[in-house]
Amino acid sequence: MKKSGILNTDLARLVARMGHGDMLAITDRGFPFPVHSQTECIDLSVCRDVPKVADVIKATLEELEVEEVIIANETAKHSPETNKEFLQIVSNITHKGKPVKVSRMSHSELKKTILCGALVGKQQCGIVKCGEFTPFANMVLVSGVDYS
């Protein structure tokens, strides 16, 4: 029996198969799933606010090499505490000895990237929906490589 790391078998498998440049979106409860089969979708929601997006991000970052994260511009305005928590989490990780790149885009562009990315040739691996009920509590992790 596995006793540490990501215990959810679907999420562990998804993280294990990610390659350089693949995107994994970790989203709040309200984020829609794509209407196509090109992007794997995992619903971790148990009940309201369980699990929180930040908790899933932290667990995922323990196993996934990340070179960039993408956060919606609206997160800072509408959910400043969540934005602060996201930036704190990201500040604790590096990629090849440098801080992980933090990119911003509008929520509508973020949704388009996540929901249609795999259909327009962007590398995408999956979406993980959490039980979070905080507006704009979404982050995209862009996988890096763990060698020079």
Task: Mark whether 95 is an active-site residue.
Answer: no
Catalytic residue (choose from 20, 78, 95, 107): 20
Measure Cα distances from 138 to 12, 32, 38, 97, 127 in Å. Answer: 19, 11, 20, 25, 10
Active site residues: 20
